[in-house]
Each structure stands twice: as C-alpha cells, then as structure tokens.
Amino acid sequence: MRSALFQSLLLTIAGMSLTSSPISNPMAEGTIQLAVDLYHALHCSLKENIIHSPLGAAVLLRMVQLGAKGKALNEIRQALKLQGNEDGEEFSLLQTLFSVSSEKKEFTFNLANALYLQEGFIVKEQYLHSNKEFFQTAIKLVNFQDTKACAEAISTWVEKKTDGKIKNIVSSEEFGPLTRLILVNAIYFKGDWKQKFSPEATHEMAFTKRDGSVTKIPMMNLQLRAKFGHFSDNNVSYQVLELPYKGKEFSLVLILPSEDVTIEEVEKLITAQLIKDWFAETKEDDVEISIPRFKIEQTVNLQETLHSLNVTEIFSGGCNLSGITESSDIYISKAIQKVCIEVNEDGSEAAASSTIMSMSHNQFVANRPFLFILKHNPTGKTTGFTLS
C-alpha cells in the first residue's frame, strides 16, 4: 500500500498555546478542547515534561480533512469538535493566524505549510487549490526514491521556517519506496518580554521535581504589574499569572500549584471551561515572580496520541482519502511532532524595578512543577501545554 508521511513541527521560543480572552467563538472553544484532550492523552504516556502543539495537530488534521471522506472525515471532525458543514467558516480562524505579523518587529510568528509530492503521483487539483487557499501551502515536487535529496530538501525548508532552530528534522531512512506525499507544518514564535528580566537578577535556586527530587536551576526574578489570580477548585489551590510579551499580541500564562498541592491534582482539573475562566478572572496586580530559565526539546508520536482520541481510520489501509487522489490504497503512515521551547531573560526595555524585589503581597515562585500556555490574544487558537 502507498503511504503518506504525516509530519508536524512546532518551534516556539517562549511558550505554548494560543488562545483568546475572552473566548466566545465555538470553533475557538473546540480548539481549546483539542488542546486539553491532547494534553491528557500525552500525560498517560509521558511522565516528565509534556510539550505539544494542538495548533500544529489541528492544521495537519485540517489538511487531511480537505481530502478525507466517510469514517476518516467523521473521526477528524469529532476530534476537532466541528459542527455543521460550513468548511469555509471552519477554516476562517486558522486563516487569520497566517496573517499574524508585527509591523514594529516586536515579535516573530511564522506559520507555514508544505506538501511534498512524488513526481508523477496524481493529486486532485481541487485538493491542491484548497490547501493553497486555506493554508497557503507550498506545493513541492520531489523524487522520494532519492531519499537523501528529499531529506535535505525538507530539512532545509523547516530550518528556514524556524529560523535555524530545528535542523535535520527528517532522515533518508524515513522514506520508503511507497511514500507518495508528505504534509509538513512548521510554527515558529519568538517574542520579547514587555518587561525584561535582568540577567543580574537570575540566581540558582532549588527546584523540586515531580518525583520529589531536588535540583538546582537558574531562576529569573522580577517585580511587575500583571494579570494574576488565586484559584481553588475542589479544594485544590493554585495561582495563575499572565506575562505579556512586547506588543501585547502574545502572553505567557503560568499555572502554579500551591506548595501543599501536587501538579497531578491540578492536571485532573483542566477543562476547556476552566481555561476560559482563568483568562476571564485574572486581574491586574503587583506581583513578585521567580520562574526558571529553561530550554526543552521533545518529539511526540502524534499517531499514538491521535489514536487515543479515536482518530484511527486515516492510519489504516483502505481509508477513504479520495478527496486527495483517486488511488484507493493511500493512508497516513507516520505522524510526528517535534517541539523546542526556550524561556529566558530576553525582553523589551527594562522597567526601573526589574532588578529589585520589593515587599509585594503577591508572590509567584515557580520552584516546583507548573503548567504554561502561550496565548494569542486576538484569535482563539490553542497550540498546547507544557509541564516543567
């Protein structure tokens, strides 16, 4: 059977998860629910840091959706929480993200897609047209028999789209004689903090890991005015803090359990509605914060994760992808998502109080496992969660 390699890439430099505040669009709510579903699915298989991109997964599922029929289409729609039949409306929120840019160069956000086709393999013109229309997908012809050249071409494209942060994303061993097309999604975000963390204020501090062991890590310190809130659900207490990036288009939302609460207790609470409540109920306040400086890379088997969400048909022979090609034996053979994330002191011009900790009543000291989300304020798209 002919196979399609389904490759999802995410690079973010300061967070994970795009969402809006407030959220009222049903499609945006569906994306948040996908983020929650993916997170809980990954939690079952990954015991350490969890990083994923629902935005990347959603884009690639939508690219397949354009050509899926029958059971394959129904499973994708159910996973994405889609209702009705207005495909144009369903894709409209995703389309807005392709036009996200900073005229003042305050941040970099690249969302790009490519479809690599085997030379001579016939793909329906409508499928190619829809990919270009909805996702600005670049269509590239290659010869998968020349595995080395194909790997170099795809890796070079990804490296360019992610500002050189992801290199050699695929190897020649990943292509087989039956490979016919590869769908690639690359996301890159780099933002400066609205208020800078001074490197001089970064000090080593004890961090208690999920398993109870203690390690020393560099902890960044800052006092600022930001959206902040104390929450308690089912006797589980935690704090929520929103740190804005320069330009205010993006912000990083951190969720920190109280000292007597485990991260597992907070994880069990997470729902799409709870996330919306966080964004709606945090208020501006003065906060002394201490958060780790860190960089994490992770590769996720997206096929296994989607299987747990009952998206199985597209990975089996005989699935109906007739909207892509007339060939009856094409299916998705592999789904991989690679994520790289870095949080550091870099930011915009520092405020006068950025290196001095005063006696604020609110303290946010992330010296234990926490969650964080990258939030894109104007839209309702989520790309993921991560757990330190």
- What is the amino acid identity at position 363? Q
| pLDDT of amino acid 188 | 75
- Supply the DSSP string of 316-355, one letter for each residue: STT---TTT-S-SSEEEEEEEEEEEEEE-S-BSSPPTTTT
Average pLDDT, the chain: 77
| pLDDT of amino acid 60 | 84
Please report, in tens digits, the pLDDT of each residue of the chain (388 residues total): 455 555 544 432 222 222 223 334 544 566 678 888 888 887 776 656 777 777 778 888 888 899 999 999 999 999 988 865 555 556 666 666 666 655 556 677 777 788 888 888 888 999 999 988 888 888 889 898 899 998 899 889 888 887 787 777 788 888 778 888 888 877 777 778 888 888 889 999 999 988 889 999 999 999 889 999 999 998 999 999 998 888 777 888 899 999 999 988 998 898 888 888 888 899 999 999 999 987 777 777 788 888 999 999 988 888 898 999 888 778 887 777 777 677 777 632 222 222 233 344 689 999 999 988 877 776 545 444 555 4
Residues in contact with 89: Cβ distance below 8 Å, sequence separation at least 6, in sequence order: 27
Rounded to two decimals, what is the model's pTM? 0.80
| pLDDT of amino acid 290 | 93
| pLDDT of amino acid 335 | 78
What Rg, from alpha-carbon coordinates, does the chain have? 21
- Supply the DSSP string of 115-164, one letter for each residue: EEEETT----HHHHHHHHHHH-PEEEEE-TTSHHHHHHHHHHHHHHHTTT
199-293+347-378: CATH class? mainly beta
CATH topology of domain 2-192+295-342: Antithrombin; Chain I, domain 2 (3.30.497)
Cite the residue boundaries of each domain of the chain with CATH code 2.30.39.10.
199-293+347-378
pLDDT digits (tens, 9 = 90+) for 222-257: 988 999 999 999 899 999 999 888 877 788 889 999
β-strands 179-191, 138-142 pairing: unpaired
Using CA atoms, how far residue 383 sits from 52, 57, 198, in Å, is 7, 8, 28
Q: How far apart are CA 61 and CA 54, in angstroms?
A: 10
Number of H helices, E strands in the chain: 9, 15
| Residues paired with residue 154 on neighbouring β-strands, in sequence order | none
Cite the residue boundaries of each domain of the chain with CATH code 3.30.497.10.
2-192+295-342
